[in-house]
């Protein structure tokens, strides 16, 4: 299933202080630059990424587990920010400075090796949203097969953290 996504990446709306993450920061020149987009209906988020061969793991031609966790981490916190923003009835525009979430807990289930030569697709849905906490479920797929699943507890932080 292909989700229709909005045209503004959540990470591009982080405040200046939060744009330097290695995994998803738009201002980290050496970073991965993961981008997460809300679906048009607002009920899920999606990231698509192709990673370099240097991130291969113990199984040749497959992504190493630490990189899988990094991708889930960055995708999940962006998703949590979007779900909180969306619940307030707010739109996501290029001028948005979205509230920031960070990881409190990340649980990853590695289901099968994740091929490194194909596009990796991560989708997320919201399980629970409180005043400061979001619980996000995620799946990582390659070539239409789910390779890993994750659940994240993310917490909202203040800009002066």
* Residue 67 covered by a domain: yes
User: Does the pTM exceed 0.85?
Assistant: yes
The reported pLDDT for the residue numbered 129 is: 97
The reported pLDDT for the residue numbered 128 is: 97
Domain with 138, as residue range(s), is 10-156
The reported pLDDT for the residue numbered 112 is: 95
Q: What is the pLDDT of residues 18-53, one digit of tens each?
A: 888 998 988 999 989 999 999 988 899 999 999 999
The reported pLDDT for the residue numbered 31 is: 87
* Residue 3 covered by a domain: no
Helix (H) or strand (E) holding 81, with range, is helix 65-87
- pLDDT at residue 5 greater than cutoff 80: no
CA 27 vs. chain centroid, Å, equals: 17
* Residue 140 covered by a domain: yes
What dihedral angle (degrees, nearest 10) is formed by the CA atoms of 100, 105, 109, 114?
Answer: 40
pLDDT band of residue 17 (cuts 50, 70, 90) is confident
> Is there a contact between 135 and 126 (Cβ–Cβ < 8 Å)?
yes
Backbone φ and ψ for 102, nearest 5 degrees, come out as: -130, 165
Q: What is the pLDDT of residues 73-126, one digit of tens each?
A: 999 999 999 999 999 999 999 899 999 999 999 999 999 999 999 999 999 999
Q: What CATH number does the domain containing 53 carry?
A: 3.10.129.10
Domain count, the chain: 1
Please give the Cα distance from 81 to 139 (Å, whole number): 18
**What percent of the residues of the chain are helix, what percent strand, and what percent coil, each to the nearest 5?**
20, 35, 45
* Residue 4 covered by a domain: no
């Amino acid at each position: 299933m292909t989700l229709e996504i909005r045209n503004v990446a959540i990470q591009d709306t982080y405040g200046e202080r939060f744009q330097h993450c290695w995994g998803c920061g738009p201002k980290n020149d050496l970073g991965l630059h993961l981008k997460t987009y809300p679906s048009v209906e607002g009920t899920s988020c999606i990231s698509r990424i192709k990673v370099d061969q240097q991130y291969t793991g113990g199984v040749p031609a497959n992504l190493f587990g630490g990189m899988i966790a990094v991708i889930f981490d960055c995708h999940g916190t962006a998703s949590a920010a979007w779900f909180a923003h969306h619940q307030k009835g707010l739109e996501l525009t290029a001028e948005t400075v979205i509230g920031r979430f960070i990881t409190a807990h990340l649980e990853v289930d590695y289901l099968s090796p994740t091929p490194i030569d194909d596009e990796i697709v991560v989708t997320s849905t919201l399980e629970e949203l409180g005043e400061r906490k979001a619980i996000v479920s995620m799946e990582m797929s390659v070539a239409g097969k789910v390779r890993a699943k994750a659940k994240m507890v993310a917490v909202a932080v203040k800009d002066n953290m």
